[in-house]
Structure 1
């Protein structure tokens, strides 16, 4: 028995731990930073103040994670982020294509627990920073109320992924809250602070469910009594729940850090009051059998502090897609600002302005002023309020997280500060390692880091030459204009299309391209022709004049005519896609962006794919190959389509293609890495959206690595990930490797973006 002691005080249990890197914040940014650093051999502590990982993407908040793909509602083709965050998204789609937020929690925990170099601290709130002098963080202190323990965590490097920037704040990094004026960074999009407000508010979701019997609802006493005071109520439909209620927003006129509990209470009042309106007002039909299944217990935060770094990203960086020598990440969500009054505002719930393509984010935005062993990531990076409207979304934040995780590992390995990585040779090494983990950096012209593949003779069993997308017998009525994107190596050949008219009419076909190589906004029309059609099915032939299209995508554009249908193909090929000039109101896509003059954003049309199983490629036949998917692409380090597919692909009639790699001298090979196609165009929203497939149709599922005699060295079955690494148990000594691949399906040829072979030439070993 423990005797009571009323005379003295007691101390909490304390634990002191030292790691290479401490990551504060277990949202997607912190998770990706921690996993990246851990896989580089660093000992990492990941500290999260909630019982689950994921932050706004977790089951506590239930917001879908998105980034540059923007629900496939913009012109950013093949823009899913890549790297660790892509590994997570692909894993979640494989396990959880229905979008269950609880399952996504398990995916994140699994990924972190699989890393032996990560020590995970859940339910641990950091409240103190101990510094060594003015510029070095020595340790942080956190408290876990579940086990009543104080944790003292020291490290060489610290990464702040905490959302509100608790570490950066306590360490004294200069910060900003609210909007800059339009003159500071020449940003016409900067909001009118008095009228529009300068902070985005919090959101709290609810989930409803339809059951077999009628369910009554008695609201709590604190629910708002008159939901008609909410202007956005007109948007409510029976069955809406989760992320579709993103506009349940409040708090932009308050302190979004210290007033969070007050903001949450107001959002509870709104949520329960709106459910009362849905159930009991009599103004919505079919509500009787709906019940309120779940209401969020913590709100999802959008905005609080932004910390000042070596560079502050701004509107012109995004709109002009400015190149940055120190680019380590990218974004592509719209500049998306919300009225500060949220649900009580009479203004549209958001104002979104898109860019024509993705933009680069420089490393300097992640390097804070005033502290030498700290990196920023997530929504707190150095960006203006306008630029933050785009960089704040979770997949973009996570992509930056893995970049700073790699940066922190490089700083430790080289025994330098993160700021010193800005030196060109260090920066290039950082970028190369990021690219090698599948992390995409736009505008980075970088050949693959030295490996054994460049010294090999690559012999494929076949090579796809794109001459035809054969008809499937399906037809698409041209309710919207449709364009087939095809890569052009030299000259766009003459081509044929199959059309079906319900009556005699005309059809216009335009040949377009993007004004910027690597963008996918067809804003330049090079040539146009009009064809007379008779009622019924017919083939039309297009004679192509000499055009400036080499080295980029051509848009074969068939303009809308509801009396005409176009033949589709069910063949799907890496880097080949059809897009439509359609509307996606969820991301402010109304077919065309038409900004008022002087706003500093571009006017352009939106051309977006349809989600599978809808849509498809045009059935089309070329007079000569328009593009050859040759094996030379395997030696490059762009592991996704950009200005071209950047892939080798086998012929469709080759269901078990083989790549033979042959060297003049024996090689000592330790590992082999394949970069496959996980369909970077598909958004893979983490919750609520139901995806058509659990494995992307372009991804090679099965392959084998064989030795010179054809004996298997490694066999991979049922793969679904983009990157597959094979570590050989003992170093291979060989002059030949065979890769035997299985085509994904009868209508999808096998394709590979790149191969990296780690090892050393035997001749070099002998010389040493």
Structure 2
């Protein structure tokens, strides 16, 4: 006989993927009682060890675009303690599950029920949920959970559906919103489900015999001509995908079975038949095959705003911005393995300059809270892939790092609604600035909002430092922290024919631009390291612009500050000088970016730098008036060197390179930052944002990784009675965001405060993005 237990909370979150997990933790951190219900034995959804899709996000396509906040805390922790390499699919192990479990256990006010499925919803009236009835598998226990606010993070919109909300499933037609990716006629087709596998090198030949009930593949064109190249024999693949003709919710078990048949067949092809892989795979044996399909798309619950693809493509600015995205408009071909070709970008061999690639590239863009607020039920919000977006917009919003940001924002929003007993409309009307400022304080980034927290006493301080590193440029032989970062494709056994690159990475086959961070010094001269491959002098044309931001990808971002005609003598890796006479305030804003572009030239190469210096990146032209991020530096030198790492930037309200470098960076061995006030201040906590884990996606970071730029050991000192006293010391840190109490109880009073960085995790220079101080 089943027993029923009744529990009451302020917030109930249904669904424990990254969106639901982030929502629950964020709400609990705001001080409201929260219950998280998850129908699987582990947290993480598609990212868990059951499904093993590693989280993707904006940094895949945009330098310094990685998501921060709760998702960043988790991923930094996982890399620091996990011995396992991470690749795109198939390699997630239980260390990730336990990282999330540990955070859940360590969050005051958060209760969770695993292996617990939602059964029914009880409504107070048509527009309000009173409670949900859930059942815990294997325990004959039903849970009746009452709450003031509910969040649907089920992916499939199960809670919203049971509550009677309107939802969509399938693709809108072009006639409804005129979306470039929309089909001419609306249809019910959605992206499919996937399972993954992992193979292990056994050090000796290992046979594989395909079961009779599995699919046997014989045609190489299915893989190499239709966008399904087996690029890593050890694990994969996102294109092991099936949806249409089956329903991704109701036919999930049939899809799982069909995927298993096909996955075994794909491994048989790799192992026994493919002439490009069978020798590489000879010593590999299957280690794991997923049996929980990962879903991309099903119900999308209609909210107070329906986001279309015009919003991410046009980078719409929303007053209620609470998150950001930056994945491309990634719409997989309905049917997956059963379709004539795979996802369009893959079918085009990842040519970044096709019409499809150009129209699909977008971001970083803001995401509004209204897409997370049910239009039909007053106390229901959504986070994850079931938010209020069109099918086309879902192509970019659906990736897990983005949904985690949305989840954290929704958690903060529902906590505000509960605390002040606000309706959804009242929340939108009165609390958006509060939600935005709280998200920034909690480590998130918003493209169109900066720190304006009136409680942050650091904003009133004068900031000085022991030293401020100057930016001289970067050359072919430069070294630094970037060599600790590798692209995850570099960790794969390469096939005989490597994947095609978008262009020759050195030669100027296309227009290339380099962002250069400047301070408040003039720019007299820039030198570029170029190679002339022709044997005769060549002329290269270029332009210098004042750039709006590091993500301003317009091919022509305004009137150029200077037009360049460079005479390049024949020879290898020679520095060519450009004379300029630019002044901050007159020609460009102080503490901003310049962008130096060189136009295409078949005989000249702009030499790639040996490392990436903080706050700098480059891009290349893809067509349609767009540039695309390269996430590397081209060699350049500045005269005079720029003070773009000035200490004052730690209180400018932005915690990553964006419209400026936004970073204090010290000279080696001189590593303290000081805040001073005209009048003594009472301080309880100091909140710090250190550099690291921004430039690349999660996949780029090796096992047991601690970012060398991040402070490892530091102290916070206060000035009292003419002497410096140590108020706190932190050891063995590797997290980007730190909250440091200055006294066990009460506060300290001082008019001067220093952060002294004694040791980083490897970088010779100390650096900080932001300092906040609170009483």
1:495 deviation in Å?
1.6
> Which residue of the partner structure matches residue 281 of structure 1?
273
Cα contact 2:81–2:704 (8 A) shared by 1: no
Could you tell me which of 409, 414, 418 is aligned with 1:412? 418
Q: 2:255 and 2:505 mapped to 1: Cα distance?
A: 48
SS in 2 for 1:444: coil
Cα contact 1:90–1:678 (8 A) shared by 2: no
Q: 2:763 and 2:605 mapped to 1: Cα distance?
A: 22
Structure 1: which 5+ residue stretches go unaligned?
1-10, 582-590, 595-601, 611-616, 760-768
Correspondence 1:391 to 2:427? no
Correspondence 1:756 to 2:772? yes
Q: Give a deviation string over 1:181-223, Cα, whole Å, max 9, x none.
A: 11212212102569x9731011111112221232222223320
Could you tell me which of 506, 509, 513 is aligned with 1:478? 506
Alpha-carbon spacing, 1:288–1:754, altered in 2? closer, same or farther (3 Å): closer
Q: Give a deviation string over 1:321-346, Cα, whole Å, max 9, x none.
A: 11111111111111111121211211
Cα contact 2:573–2:607 (8 A) shared by 1: no
Cα contact 1:130–1:138 (8 A) shared by 2: yes
Cα contact 2:671–2:766 (8 A) shared by 1: yes
> Which residue of the partner structure matches residue 660 of structure 1?
674
Q: Give a deviation string over 1:681-739, Cα, whole Å, max 9, x none.
A: 21113xxx663881223222221111322232111122211111101313112222221
Alpha-carbon spacing, 1:681–1:422, altered in 2? closer, same or farther (3 Å): same
Q: 2:308 and 2:587 mapped to 1: Cα distance?
A: 33
SS in 2 for 1:430: helix
> Which residue of the partner structure matches residue 372 of structure 1?
378
1:415 deviation in Å?
1.4
Question: What does residue range 487-636 of structure 1 map to in structure 2 within 5 Å?
Answer: 487-489=517-519, 492-499=523-530, 503-506=535-538, 508=540, 510-513=542-545, 517=549, 519-521=551-553, 523-524=555-556, 526=560, 527-536=563-572, 538-544=574-580, 549-550=588-589, 552-557=592-597, 573-577=613-617, 579=618, 581=620, 592=622, 594=623, 602-610=624-632, 617-636=633-652
TM-score (norm: length of structure 1): 0.86
1:256 deviation in Å?
1.2
SS in 2 for 1:715: strand
> Which residue of the partner structure matches residue 598 of structure 1?
none
> Which residue of the partner structure matches residue 737 of structure 2?
723
1:400 deviation in Å?
0.2
1:634 deviation in Å?
2.0
Correspondence 1:153 to 2:145? yes
Could you tell me which of 702, 709, 726 is aligned with 1:712? 726
1:743 deviation in Å?
6.4
SS in 2 for 1:199: coil
Cα contact 1:505–1:563 (8 A) shared by 2: no
Question: What does residue range 236-315 of structure 1 map to in structure 2 within 5 Å?
Answer: 236-237=229-230, 239-243=232-236, 245-281=237-273, 283=275, 284-286=277-279, 287-315=281-309
Cα contact 1:448–1:636 (8 A) shared by 2: no
Question: What does residue range 73-222 of structure 1 map to in structure 2 within 5 Å?
Answer: 74=61, 76-96=62-82, 98-99=85-86, 100-102=91-93, 103-192=95-184, 198-222=189-213
Alpha-carbon spacing, 1:468–1:344, altered in 2? closer, same or farther (3 Å): closer
> Which residue of the partner structure matches residue 586 of structure 1?
none
Alpha-carbon spacing, 1:571–1:203, altered in 2? closer, same or farther (3 Å): closer
Cα contact 1:231–1:344 (8 A) shared by 2: no
1:431 deviation in Å?
0.8
> Which residue of the partner structure matches residue 587 of structure 1?
none
1:251 deviation in Å?
1.1
Q: 1:375 and 1:640 mapped to 2: Cα distance?
A: 29
Cα contact 1:493–1:626 (8 A) shared by 2: no
SS in 1 for 2:151: strand
Alpha-carbon spacing, 1:385–1:468, altered in 2? closer, same or farther (3 Å): closer
1:347 deviation in Å?
2.8
Cα contact 1:139–1:153 (8 A) shared by 2: yes
Q: 2:149 and 2:114 mapped to 1: Cα distance?
A: 20
1:560 deviation in Å?
7.0
1:56 deviation in Å?
0.6
> Which residue of the partner structure matches residue 19 of structure 1?
9
Higher mean displacement: 219-228 or 198-207: 219-228
SS in 2 for 1:660: strand
Alpha-carbon spacing, 1:131–1:193, altered in 2? closer, same or farther (3 Å): same
Cα contact 1:657–1:743 (8 A) shared by 2: no
Cα contact 1:478–1:560 (8 A) shared by 2: no
1:13 deviation in Å?
1.9
Cα contact 1:684–1:691 (8 A) shared by 2: no
Alpha-carbon spacing, 1:288–1:485, altered in 2? closer, same or farther (3 Å): same
Cα contact 1:662–1:737 (8 A) shared by 2: yes
CA RMSD after TM alignment:
2.9
Could you tell me which of 420, 427, 447 is aligned with 1:421? 427
1:562 deviation in Å?
8.4
Q: 1:393 and 1:571 mapped to 2: Cα distance?
A: 29
> Which residue of the partner structure matches residue 464 of structure 1?
469
1:233 deviation in Å?
6.2
Q: 2:327 and 2:5 mapped to 1: Cα distance?
A: 42
Structure 2: which 5+ residue stretches go unaligned?
346-356, 484-503
Alpha-carbon spacing, 1:513–1:743, altered in 2? closer, same or farther (3 Å): farther
SS in 2 for 1:270: helix
SS in 2 for 1:623: strand
Q: 2:678 and 2:641 mapped to 1: Cα distance?
A: 33
Q: Give a deviation string over 1:527-560, Cα, whole Å, max 9, x none.
A: 2323222335543211136595436422334567
SS in 2 for 1:622: strand
Alpha-carbon spacing, 1:560–1:696, altered in 2? closer, same or farther (3 Å): farther
Higher mean displacement: 706-715 or 330-339: 706-715
Q: 1:119 and 1:746 mapped to 2: Cα distance?
A: 38
Alpha-carbon spacing, 1:282–1:576, altered in 2? closer, same or farther (3 Å): closer
Alpha-carbon spacing, 1:348–1:236, altered in 2? closer, same or farther (3 Å): closer
Could you tell me which of 300, 317, 332 is aligned with 1:338? 332
Higher mean displacement: 477-486 or 84-93: 477-486
Cα contact 1:495–1:541 (8 A) shared by 2: yes
Cα contact 2:662–2:769 (8 A) shared by 1: yes
SS in 2 for 1:184: helix
> Which residue of the partner structure matches residue 683 of structure 2?
669
1:125 deviation in Å?
0.7
SS in 1 for 2:418: helix
Q: 1:690 and 1:328 mapped to 2: Cα distance?
A: 27
Q: 1:603 and 1:692 mapped to 2: Cα distance?
A: 39
Q: Give a deviation string over 1:305-361, Cα, whole Å, max 9, x none.
A: 001000000021111111111111111111111121211211342355434531111
1:514 deviation in Å?
7.9
> Which residue of the partner structure matches residue 446 of structure 2?
441
TM-score (norm: length of structure 2): 0.86
Alpha-carbon spacing, 1:254–1:237, altered in 2? closer, same or farther (3 Å): closer
SS in 1 for 2:640: coil
